[in-house]
Structures are given as C-alpha cells and as structure tokens.
Structure 1
Amino acid sequence: MIYRLLALVAASFLVLPNSAQAKWRVAESDYFVVYADDSEKDIREFAQMLESYHAAMEYVSGRTVPKPSPSNRVTIFAVGSRRSLQKLYGENSRYIGGFYVPRAGGSRAFVPDIRMSNREPTASMRTLLHEYAHHFMISGSRFAMPRWINEGAAEFFASAKFPANGNVVVGRPANHRANELFYADKVSVRELFDRELYAENRGKRYDAFYGRSWLLYHYLTFNQERQGQMRAYLAALVGGQDALDAAQSAFGDLDQLEDELDKYQRAKRMYNFTISPDKLETGAITVREVSEGHDKVLPLQIVSQRGVNREEAIELLEEVREIAEEYPADAAVQAVLAEAEHDAGNYAEAIAAADRAIAANSGTKNAYIQKGYSLFRLAADAEDRGKAYGEAMVPFSKLNKLENDHPLPLIHYYRSYAERGLEPPEQAKHALERAAQLAPFDQGLWMRVGRMQAQEGKIGLASHSVRPLMANPHGGRLAAEARRFVAALEKAPEGEPFDVSMLSSMPVVEIVPTDGDDEGASEPDGADESGNSGGA
C-alpha cells in the first residue's frame, strides 16, 4: 500500500522471520486475524487471549461491539523481533514496541512476537492491548470522549493479565507508569479536564499525562463514594457544558479531587476486576498453516501492508516477482504480487496478477481489491471515463457478493461518481455513510463523510460525524483539521450547502500535544492518494 514510510531500506525486507525452520500460521477468530511463524499451540493461545480480552472489555464496560465483517477484523502480524519491528516502522522508532494502522477493510497491527512470560503481557503486548482498547472504544461509540478518558481507559485495560485458569484480570496497577507518575512533570486534574489549559502549561519535558489519566480513571472506577460521577461528567459534556464546568458539576471541588488523587497514587493496594471464563463469551478459533508459496512471500506482504512509497515498492517488487514466478497458481502469492505491482504503479500487471489469483481461488478477496484499485487508477485517465469507472466497479461488486458488509465496495461506489465530478446519487451517499458505520475506526473515512454531508447542507449531521475526530487520542493532522472544520460548521446555516474548499484557507491550530508514550504509537488514519486506504 502506498503510504509514506520514511526510513525503510531494502535490507529491512530480509530481517523479518522466514528461516528454513519457521512455518507461518494464521489464526482466525471473531475479532482478530493473527499471522505468526510460531507453533499451532502458541498462536491459538494468543488468539484466545485476544478474544478473552475483548470479551472482558465488553463485560466491564457494559458495551457490546457487534462482530465485524471478516475484513474489518484487526489483522496482527508478529514480525519476529523488536529490531525488525522498528525497521518496519521507520524513523523515530527507538521507543516503538508495536503499532496499529486503522483502515476500513484493512486494519493492521504489528508486534515483535506473540509470546508471554508467565501469562504476563510484555511491554510490546501492552502496546497492542492499549491500541486495541482504543479500537474497541471507537467501535462501540461515536461520542467524542475527552483525551484523558481515552488514554486512561486504554491504560486501565492494557494492564491486563491472563492466568492459566482462563480468568482475565483487568484494572491492575499500571506499574509501567510508576516512574512517570513519581518523577515526570505532574499533570493536574484541571489540566486533564481542559485540553487548552494543558497545552498552555505543558513544558518541554516528558510529563505524566498517561499515568495521571490512568490514575484518575482507575480511582473513579473503584472509589465507592464517587460511583456514577464519571457517567455524570460525560453526560454534562454531551449536554454542551464547558470542559471544566462539566467536571465541577460532576466531581465537585476539583482541589479536593486533586488531593484525593495524590493520596491514591501513594496507595499500597488497589482493586481490580477478575473475570472468570464463564462470563467471557468467545467464538471459535481456527488455526492453519499457510501454503508453501505464501510462507515464502509473507515477510514481503507484511512490508507491503505496513506501507511503502513508490521507490520502496519498486525494490520490494523484485523480490515478490521472484517468488510469484515459482508459484504461478498460488492465489495468496499472486494476490501479494498484485498489491506489489499496484504499489509500483504497474496497473496492467497488477490486474493480470489479480486475475491469476482469482482463477486459482475465486474467494481471494485481496485480489478483487487490488484489481479494483488499479482499474480505478486507469479510469482516471481513460477517454471514456464513464465506461472505465463502470468496469472498475466490477471487481468491487464481486467482492460485495463475497462479503456483503465489506466497506471498500461501498466506498468505491461513491468514488466512482465523485472522481468524475458528478453528483453521487442518494444510494451512493448512503453507501459511504454505511461504510463509515462498518469501520468507525477509520478517521479519514469519517472526514470524507462529514465533508459530503456538509456539502449537502446537513450541517448538524456533518458536525456529528467529524467531532469525534477532534478527540483522537493520538492527535495529529486529522484532529487539527477536524477542529478547524467543526469551528467553521458552527457558523454555517443549517440547510445551506457548505463550501468545503474554504477549509484550505483556514489556519490549522494544533493544540493536542505529542503523546510522549514510550511504549507504542498509533498511525494516523491512513488516507492517501493510492486508494488503498478505506478513507481515501
């Protein structure tokens, strides 16, 4: 997928695991797909742990996240080592223990390995659990939660433990935040509640935002005298109260809350939730070995799906072609080749490889996707663009028959009109909105939906669609763009088409600070020019 990766070099293609002894396996469950060159036992246990973690979050939070369509599950690649992971990530990877790229129909997470010590997650595993907690919360609600709750809840759940008896323990002390809490710059409760106040007071040193967010979330969850106050706080925010006013109405004297939180930080013992297996509903897990050809090409597929630019794609393509020549009838290999050819700009070759994959196995979904992407690229420059876009929709229509709730056919149905400068029919507009509902974690897709709704004059609906992006826990360009968009919508009259082009002339004010999380990172929405992102 064409996604800017600044420091990936050809040598990094070779550090991913694929020794003569290794054998890649894939585990599939209701919410996850896991690829690892590990034993059947280990990969099954890992998949079960993830499913139990998801079920534990549902049990504790009271939220139910509907089972996603197969392509909207989170796919996890275990790349073999932290060094391999950091090479895959690219620049500024020194402290990266794992990362997550949310995309409609293609969310990917990358971790070093799937092993745990004494059923205790490693630092890299906590990164995965932290990011999946964000994924879970976004999938379960479109409400724009404050950043401290986003991060506090993610830390609360990510400190989980998975005893051999099948229990899941969540809400344990976040011991990995201990040094931060005691030695980093303190963040007051007022600064947690008020994003602008935090940005104003934040210094250049690493501070305790993550630790204090966890501490406050944990305290409000277990303190009996403050039960219900967090819900009241969120209700006040939904009702339109200012951030600090909402906090004071729910929690009372904030100085008293500050004192209580400082005392709680020094507590020698804390509560947690221990959830027994009979309360954790999980589905079946299947594990299989991948084909011989797929086993050889999987390390290259991982690099491709992490994201490469055109130059890197051309280097990668040479290695993929060598393997594909060896396995011309292996559908998985030919689908990887189709993706590599597309990323290198060889659209006719990508279509041919996709056709070979489909001929070998008509259920190879990525082959339909890559063929559709390449046909869309060719359609942009076709003489008869109407006919070309119609042909480009054919593989997506076939994909839709294979998986009715796959978001990419819905997105590209809308694009087949928008990219020709035509007004999409209502059915196409509804299709784009449905795709966003199926993939609520794709921030770029929701931005596109909001822009479409604003252009229709549906100002309130557009604001509702975009506002959660402002609270993206990892901030970034899209969060700043969302704040700018929402500010403009507040001045726009309902029912009158909004000129989205005016947004480009408005200044971007970035007030969400860099995370400073030394354990992991989440990629931005993944929208780009390639069409390989659901949000593009």
Structure 2
Amino acid sequence: MVYTNDNEKNVRAFSEQLERYHTAIALLTSSETNVPSPSNRLTVYVVRNENEVRKLYGEDNPFLGGFYLPRAGGSIAIVSRVKAAGRDLDWSMIALLHEYAHHFIISSSAYGMPRWYSEGGAEFFASSRFNADGSVELGRPAAHRGNELFLARDVTAEELLDPAAYEKRRTRGYDAFYGKSWLLFHYLTFSKPRAGQLTNYLHLIAKGKSQREAALEAFGDFKILDRELDTYLLKNRWNFLTLAGSAIRIGAIDIRAVSAGQAEMMPVQIRSRRGVTTEQARKLLVDAREIAARFPRDPAALTALAEAEHDAGNDKEAVAAADAAIALDPMQANAYVQKGLSLFRLAEDAPDRDSAFNNAVKPFVALNRIENDHPLPLFYFYQSFSKRGRTPTDLAYQGLVRALELAPFDTSLRMTLAMEQMRRHLMPQARETLLPVAFYPHGGKLALAAQRLVAKIDASPKWDGTAAELVMSTPVGGDEGQTDAPDPAAAAGAQPGGGGGKPADSDLPAEPAQP
C-alpha cells in the first residue's frame, strides 16, 4: 500500500512500476512468497522531501534518502516524493526500490544475510529500468553510486566480507560501503570464472561458518578478489538482465482518495507508525486529539487517535477510541491492534490477571476472524500464556511458528520464537530461527544477543537451552567491548509489530543517498 499526496497519473505510474518490480524480482530469484494479509503488506509513505525523511528518522544525516522498518503487521518504508516519469529513475524512486528489495528478500528467505550481501543485493535490484513495452531491466550499473566508488574512502573486499575488519577502520566519514557492496554482488552474479561461488558462500554461512571463514573458502584470497573488482569497475560494458513484459503479469491497481479526517491525521499516522518516544508521543497526542475532535465520525482518524493515546500511555482512552472506530467500521484492523495492546498493558496490573488477559486477547481473536493470516493475533495468543507465567500450549507454540512464517522479517518475533524453542530444548530449530537476527545487517542489541546464543549452541552441542537469558548477557569471542549489551528480559519478551512506544534506533536501517 502506498500513501502519497500526488496526482493520479503519477501515482498509477509508480505503483505499476513497483508491481512490475516485485514480479521481476520474484521471477529472477524463483521466489514464492505468501500473499500477505492486507495489514501485513509493506506500507510506503511518500513524504515531501528528504528533509522530511531525515526528520522522521530522527537524524540529520545528509546521505539519508529513505528508511525501512520491518515489523509484523506493520512494515513501513518512508521515502521522499517519487517521480516515475521516463526510463531512468530519479533518486527518490531508487531509494524506494532499494527499500522494497530489502522487504522482498527478507520476506522470501529464512536465512541470515551478511550486511554487504543485503545492501549489495538491494542496490543490484534498485538499479532497474522500466521500459515502455513492459519489460524490466535488472542489475544495471548503479550510476548513482559512481561518485561514491571513485571519490569516497575505499572499502576493501576483506572489510566487506569480515565485519570485524570493517569495524577496525570504520570512521564517521562517508565511505564506499554501499557502492562496493553493489560492485561485489554484481561481479559475483555475472562473473563466469566465479560462477556458483556466491551460492556456495551463502550455504557455508547457513551451515555455521563465520562470515570470514565462508568468504575465504568460497572466494579465496581477498587481495586477488580486490584486484578483480578494481578491473571490473573500469569496464566499458556491463551485463544486466532483461525480463520481457509478456512474462511480467501484475494485478489491478486500485487508487482512491483517503477520507478528509485521515488526510488531516496523516502526519500523526506516519509519525506514530515510525515510532515515538514517550515525550514525542505526548506532544503528538495534542494534534491527534484536535483532529479527531473535528472528525468524530471518521473511523480512520479515530484509529490513529487510538494509536496516539496508546503511545502516550493512555490505555483506557486508547480502548475508547478504538471501540469508537470499530463501531463505525468493523474492518479497521489497526483499531483492534491498538485496543489489544492497551488491554494487554492494563492486564499487567489488574487485580484479576487471568480474567484481564483473557479479555485482552479478544480484540486479537476478532482481528483473526477478519484477517486469518495477520501475524499479531497469533503472537498475542502466545503472549496471553507467557505474560501470566503459564507454559504456552502446543497450539500457542504452533501459532508463534506460523506468525514468523507470515512475518519472517520481524527480528523481535524471531527472538521470542527462538527463546520458546530453547525452552522446549529444540536447539537446531532455535539456531535456525536465530541466524537471521545474528546476521542482521545493522547490528543492535537483539543481533548481539542472537550472536551469543548461536555461539553457545555451536560451542556446546549438548546444551539444552538452560539459562539462555544469562548467555545473552555474557560476552563471548570478541564482543567484550560492545556497549549495547542486550537486556535479557527485553530480548526474551520483545514485542513485534511496532505497536508504538520508544523505537530501538540501533536496529533501524538507514539508506544513504548519493553524496
């Protein structure tokens, strides 16, 4: 779903391009992704300019062109205004395609991907061209990375393939990480002498090899690879792939104007979905209440108010706003989510916790009837046991497994499932669940926790998962100098879906634009 303030012609043009892009990647990668429920699809918010993107991200980064937040039932990408005219894409469209490539690749893969591979792959697909005959060209030269590759500080093959080597030389200045990642991905994709090496590399990582070990075994000497990349960069002609328009079939595109109340509430909605601190939530609530007062019969506006109330800690008010929205429109999925989130929080301090948690599950049960493949009802059914200190039933566990199948990109959901699998002594399954978090491209507390757990599983084959929380907080290998040590309790009970509240900025990916 795309929200933008633009004319219908341009909205249809770039929506069609995005649909063709999705189909082209699926064909090229032979991926079969589940058709997501409406609420579990990626929502793209197109804002006025890059300054708005930076403001929403919360960082005045001159290289920031957009960002993507993967969340069960609430994945979003925020980019600046998109122009879809012409065959060659402007930066805003490239940033959007980059973000969508991340979402597609993470959604269609159950394995962890090194950062260079994730970013290089996103750049590979984002360097596309849409032709008038309906064909799509993928893997074109990343012209928007040209200046970076030739002028920014070089990043060697070793630094790309060994995160520890990169961190040793990393500075706050801009370097060629994204451009060099694209170059390596492109080279390994089209190089005949190195055919099959990239697939072998990913298999080695999946089997438990470290990134450095897998790279050395698959690619050989880093210095030789560097020389080949330098030569490849100076090529006059580049290979790319063209998919015929006849092979790319897309569905119908529905364009509609949002209601007047939702249009007024859109800045609040975007800010809430991005994530807010408690202080930000309280300031935003002033605007949300003022707008909702002017549109008391607009269910979308009332749903946004419910989210703003929840973020600000006003759970009873959030439930009231959600109930008002549902009464006007029973299909307001996010209203059920916000009501359920608030009832779960109220249940923590309720005199009769059993009764309160039983009541808190009801909005999610209702949502499940509307969207059977929405991941959050499955997650909160599981939480209704764990929050009360009860052993989750097998049905609750299977629901959690299914939730991750529906939202494989949600790292918090992965951590919750992995902890439950370790509690059940299902160590091979837990390791497989943890790997994508351990390899999360932008690191963060959950990634560090997952790395420690995977290291423990690999080092101690007889470990049954006992005291996993202690393992998460105990430094291993070379991470003693880390300053973002995970909170075991938070990692064990991480909340997926981005239901509001303070965001974990260290886990949010930022995409630098061409300097």
TM (norm. structure 2) is 0.89
SS in 2 for 1:64: coil
Q: String of CA shifts for 1:342-399, please: whole Å, max 9, x gaps.
A: 1122211111111111111111111111111111111111011000110111111000
Structure 2 partner of 1:444:
412
Task: Tell me the CA shift for residue 402 of structure 1.
Answer: 0.1
Structure 1 partner of 2:288:
320
Structure 1 partner of 2:432:
464
Residue 376 of structure 1 pairs with residue 348 of structure 2: no
Residue 219 of structure 1 pairs with residue 187 of structure 2: yes
Q: String of CA shifts for 1:328-347, please: whole Å, max 9, x gaps.
A: 22211111111111112221
Map 1:455-534 to 2 at 5 A: 455-492=423-460, 494=462, 496-503=464-471, 505-507=473-475, 532=499
Q: Which amino acid aligns with 1:284?
A: A
- Structure 2: distance between partners of 1:529 and 1:135: 16
- Structure 2: distance between partners of 1:175 and 1:307: 33
Change (3 A) 1:529 1:157: closer
SS in 1 for 2:193: helix
Unaligned runs of 5+ in 2: 483-490, 505-515
Structure 2 partner of 1:11:
none
Q: String of CA shifts for 1:419-454, please: whole Å, max 9, x gaps.
A: 111111111111112111110110111011111111
Change (3 A) 1:454 1:315: same
Q: String of CA shifts for 1:161-193, please: whole Å, max 9, x gaps.
A: 223332222111112222222233333333333
- Structure 1: distance between partners of 2:93 and 2:479: 30
Change (3 A) 1:187 1:373: same
Report if aligned partners of 2:71, 2:496 keep a CA contact under 8 Å in 1: no
Task: Tell me the CA shift for residue 302 of structure 1.
Answer: 1.3
Q: Which amino acid aligns with 2:422?
A: A
Structure 1 partner of 2:369:
401
Map 1:157-306 to 2 at 5 A: 157-202=125-170, 205-241=173-209, 243-244=211-212, 246-251=214-219, 254-306=222-274
Worse-superposed segment, 127-136 or 392-401: 127-136
SS in 2 for 1:98: strand
Q: String of CA shifts for 1:220-275, please: whole Å, max 9, x gaps.
A: 22223332232233334444455455445444555443322211111122111122
Change (3 A) 1:488 1:92: farther
Q: Which amino acid aligns with 1:431?
A: G
Structure 1 partner of 2:317:
349
Map 1:50-129 to 2 at 5 A: 50-129=18-97
SS in 2 for 1:94: coil
- Structure 1: distance between partners of 2:497 and 2:20: 36
Q: Which amino acid aligns with 1:391?
A: N
Alignment size in residue pairs: 493
Task: Tell me the CA shift for residue 214 of structure 1.
Answer: 1.2
SS in 2 for 1:312: helix
Report if aligned partners of 2:412, 2:495 keep a CA contact under 8 Å in 1: no
- Structure 1: distance between partners of 2:328 and 2:180: 54
Change (3 A) 1:348 1:253: closer
Report if aligned partners of 2:453, 2:472 keep a CA contact under 8 Å in 1: no
Report if aligned partners of 1:199, 1:512 keep a CA contact under 8 Å in 2: no
Report if aligned partners of 1:455, 1:499 keep a CA contact under 8 Å in 2: no
Structure 1 partner of 2:105:
137
Change (3 A) 1:38 1:512: farther
Report if aligned partners of 1:459, 1:492 keep a CA contact under 8 Å in 2: no
SS in 2 for 1:100: strand
Worse-superposed segment, 121-130 or 401-410: 121-130
Task: Tell me the CA shift for residue 85 of structure 1.
Answer: 2.1
- Structure 2: distance between partners of 1:394 and 1:247: 49
SS in 1 for 2:446: helix
Change (3 A) 1:349 1:507: same
Report if aligned partners of 2:83, 2:92 keep a CA contact under 8 Å in 1: no
Structure 2 partner of 1:36:
4
- Structure 2: distance between partners of 1:34 and 1:429: 33
Residue 432 of structure 1 pairs with residue 396 of structure 2: no
Worse-superposed segment, 73-82 or 478-487: 478-487
- Structure 1: distance between partners of 2:221 and 2:57: 44
- Structure 1: distance between partners of 2:321 and 2:350: 21
Task: Tell me the CA shift for residue 60 of structure 1.
Answer: 1.9
Worse-superposed segment, 395-404 or 123-132: 123-132
Change (3 A) 1:298 1:190: closer
Residue 361 of structure 1 pairs with residue 329 of structure 2: yes
Report if aligned partners of 2:325, 2:335 keep a CA contact under 8 Å in 1: yes
- Structure 1: distance between partners of 2:172 and 2:306: 46
Report if aligned partners of 1:373, 1:531 keep a CA contact under 8 Å in 2: no
- Structure 1: distance between partners of 2:323 and 2:218: 60
SS in 1 for 2:137: strand
Task: Tell me the CA shift for residue 62 of structure 1.
Answer: 2.2
Report if aligned partners of 2:411, 2:496 keep a CA contact under 8 Å in 1: no
Change (3 A) 1:368 1:45: same
Q: Which amino acid aligns with 1:349?
A: E
- Structure 1: distance between partners of 2:496 and 2:171: 36
SS in 2 for 1:63: coil
SS in 2 for 1:226: coil
Change (3 A) 1:288 1:273: same
Report if aligned partners of 1:237, 1:243 keep a CA contact under 8 Å in 2: yes
Change (3 A) 1:512 1:146: farther
Change (3 A) 1:430 1:528: closer
TM (norm. structure 1) is 0.85
Report if aligned partners of 2:34, 2:406 keep a CA contact under 8 Å in 1: no
Worse-superposed segment, 482-491 or 466-475: 482-491
Task: Tell me the CA shift for residue 104 of structure 1.
Answer: 0.3
Report if aligned partners of 1:460, 1:494 keep a CA contact under 8 Å in 2: no
Q: Which amino acid aligns with 1:321?
A: R
Q: Which amino acid aligns with 1:412?
A: Y
- Structure 1: distance between partners of 2:232 and 2:363: 57
- Structure 2: distance between partners of 1:242 and 1:100: 27
- Structure 2: distance between partners of 1:203 and 1:322: 45
- Structure 1: distance between partners of 2:81 and 2:69: 17
Report if aligned partners of 1:87, 1:93 keep a CA contact under 8 Å in 2: no
Q: Which amino acid aligns with 1:532?
A: G
Q: Which amino acid aligns with 2:374?
A: H
Worse-superposed segment, 373-382 or 503-512: 503-512
Structure 2 partner of 1:20:
none
Change (3 A) 1:342 1:392: same
Report if aligned partners of 2:275, 2:500 keep a CA contact under 8 Å in 1: no
